[in-house]
Structure 1
């Protein structure tokens, strides 16, 4: 039996991916879930597992090709009925929710633009809970047993084909949550409500989004396997042309969208951080803390989390579609990381609950993962506020552009040893400049300035964190 594997949506809602390399060749025997290729999206490099056990018949793309989601990637020869793959009877597609469309229109759109999140195979007999989902067009006859292995191999783990027909119930949620799910490419019909009310919340969607990354079978690359940058294409000796793709393309699109959507305002504050640098030096001398690599960025991250408690408008989102301001009661703290592939901004989930040591460890792990090209799609979603450390490049300040969907971003400048007024005298002190950009639709100048002063106060007197935290 011939089976085609289509390029899946890897849980990021992106329309395409670049094929980095094949790990199999035509004629090779492939086992179920064996890695067959490495692909690079605008956010991460991931490995694709095989949804079939069989022989590679055709490779439909070459390294360097950009493949559209839903396009054929590889064809297998699979042995008869034992193929753990979607059968015609179990064929179904799952797309973004069509909250304002009829079911017929939504079904037509789903067929035209399949979202193949979770397209992959699972070993026969693995148990998964059934979830609420749209029924496929034709149901199996009443009393007919349904092969669970076929269901497990369908393009999504939540498809039911053997249930009797019944009216489709629209998932219960609020407009902001529906919009949030749509932005993530998630069908709310596949998300279960955790509360007794049965209403799907943002937290339910985020939990499902994190789980989808695992269901999609995406495994991070090892550092040794990280692909080298694509070679530039030279046209002559005077110019060099390089294709705009991957992280660079995604970053450019996001920054243009942010710059021309949110009215940016940037305010600056220069702070004496001598007490912070002295505290950091004492940490380095403490054997129990040496392995945690606590630096100025970690202290700034802690200061931001504390200041956001007093100024929640900086931890909010302008939801244009719903006509609402969404205030977050948690902090998913984005840390801008420069990599060989471009700028990425993964975020630390629930940073508000972390100690200074935990934040330092999380920042270190986040940076190492980003540089190795192993950042998971779920780590790039759901950020609420970001920090960019321009000081590591020797820069004093800048005017950072907001991450789309966030109200604020803080640029942390370089620490300079310079003359400074201290206790009525001039002394050499460690001084640093902070730059805060914020969305003026959500944050007034007064609020932004007070937030920045509160961050600076913690860096000026880090002992305040013990009182405030």
Structure 2
């Protein structure tokens, strides 16, 4: 038999969710015929057959999470392994839990004796969520039983899948990697014409910010402590969906007209809604914009996703009493929150970026 394993999907992705099989055991397939569809952190992609032959066995079911290198399909044929497509190693459920990282202990593992580990398996308790109460950070049987009682009163565990799973992994990576700092301010926008396109104004202002402080439009390579300034501004636009957060990329926003940007935004949002956005359109952002104020909220501390170093968040426009030319009157203000990676961007650079953004937003047009 010849085994085909989940190949390297690129972009550092280590797993995918099996969406649908396009074949079944006994089928005869040709080279490059679609075998299955998987959902990764980037998009839903089809995986083609690397050879012609008859399908002998399928190793996974729809909705299974498959690791890179895990077997997918067994073909009828010669007794050999398909080494050309194997990437990584296969993980099995027989792996022994040796270290348990528990709440409030950081990277310090808790101690668990075999009997308590067996009790946790019996009660279906994940030891990583158990707070130890025994000596020297030991998880006791009472600790496991306490958590089991709490879990019995909650809804069953629902594994995160697809893009929501990817969002959780990306946020955890960003939390571990970035040294975030956030500054906030209000931009006066009462000079805007009625019906002004808020997102387009934000994009234009962000471009002005990058012109004032180009360091915010860069990639940071933490392994070598190196930054790469980017000439073009490829803007990631945070898009909220029922499936989680998508960040498609609007290319070269600094050289495009307002009408062209609006057309691009409309196409992008339609593709996201239809789940037809190409994977390459979810890659390569150099800076990010989150217009969360379309839903609710005034200020935030948005999350910077490496290798980018900055994200600009815009809250809900509101009217308040403001001072203008020595007089007090009601005016419209747009709250802004800029989170930046303080390993790369200084407070002064972030402040000058935000000042340039605010100056452009204050203009009438």
- TM-score, normalised with respect to structure 1: 0.58
Per-residue deviation, residues 214-268 of structure 1 (Å, max 9, x unmatched): xxxxxxxxxxxxxxxxxxxxx7563231114433343333323333433222111
Distance in 2, matches of 1:237 and 1:405, equals 41
For the 8 Å contact 2:220–2:306, the answer to whether it is kept is: no
- 1:413 CA displacement: 0.9
Q: Secondary structure at the match of 2:293?
A: helix
For the 8 Å contact 1:340–1:371, the answer to whether it is kept is: no
For the 8 Å contact 1:395–1:413, the answer to whether it is kept is: yes
**More divergent stretch after superposition (377-386 vs 422-431):** 422-431
Q: Secondary structure at the match of 1:396?
A: coil
Q: Secondary structure at the match of 1:442?
A: coil
Distance in 2, matches of 1:72 and 1:112, equals 11
2:307 pairs with one of 391, 400, 405 = 405
1:346 pairs with one of 222, 241, 248 = 248
Distance in 2, matches of 1:54 and 1:76, equals 6
Residues 376 and 9 of structure 1, relative CA distance in 2, 3 Å threshold: farther
Per-residue deviation, residues 61-113 of structure 1 (Å, max 9, x unmatched): 111212122222123458x9xxxxxxx8x9646xxxxxxxxxxxxxxxxx773
Q: Verify: 1:359 aligned to 2:334, yes or no.
A: no
**More divergent stretch after superposition (302-311 vs 33-42):** 33-42
Q: Secondary structure at the match of 2:177?
A: coil
Q: Verify: 1:263 aligned to 2:175, yes or no.
A: no
Identify the residue that residue 10 of structure 1 maps to in structure 2. Answer: 9
For the 8 Å contact 2:13–2:41, the answer to whether it is kept is: yes
Identify the residue that residue 110 of structure 2 maps to in structure 1. Answer: none
Distance in 1, matches of 2:34 and 2:252, equals 32
1:253 pairs with one of 165, 169, 175 = 169
Residues 36 and 319 of structure 1, relative CA distance in 2, 3 Å threshold: closer
Residues 261 and 12 of structure 1, relative CA distance in 2, 3 Å threshold: closer
Q: Secondary structure at the match of 1:300?
A: helix
Identify the residue that residue 201 of structure 2 maps to in structure 1. Answer: 299
- 1:30 CA displacement: 3.8
* Structure 1 unaligned regions, length at least 5: 81-87, 94-110, 115-234, 281-294, 464-469
Residues 257 and 76 of structure 1, relative CA distance in 2, 3 Å threshold: closer
Distance in 2, matches of 1:362 and 1:18, equals 29
Residues 274 and 7 of structure 1, relative CA distance in 2, 3 Å threshold: same
- 1:462 CA displacement: 4.9
Identify the residue that residue 88 of structure 2 maps to in structure 1. Answer: 113
Residues 267 and 246 of structure 1, relative CA distance in 2, 3 Å threshold: same
Distance in 2, matches of 1:415 and 1:277, equals 14
- TM-score, normalised with respect to structure 2: 0.73
- 1:358 CA displacement: 2.0
Identify the residue that residue 373 of structure 1 maps to in structure 2. Answer: 275
Residues 448 and 15 of structure 1, relative CA distance in 2, 3 Å threshold: same
Per-residue deviation, residues 268-326 of structure 1 (Å, max 9, x unmatched): 1112223335262xxxxxxxxxxxxxx31122112112220221111123323223232
Residues 445 and 112 of structure 1, relative CA distance in 2, 3 Å threshold: closer
- 1:367 CA displacement: 2.6
Residues 91 and 37 of structure 1, relative CA distance in 2, 3 Å threshold: closer
Bigger proportion of residues as strand: 2
Residues 435 and 54 of structure 1, relative CA distance in 2, 3 Å threshold: same
**More divergent stretch after superposition (372-381 vs 58-67):** 372-381
Distance in 2, matches of 1:54 and 1:277, equals 65
Identify the residue that residue 390 of structure 1 maps to in structure 2. Answer: 292
Aligned length: 304
* Structure 2 unaligned regions, length at least 5: 90-150
Identify the residue that residue 18 of structure 2 maps to in structure 1. Answer: 19
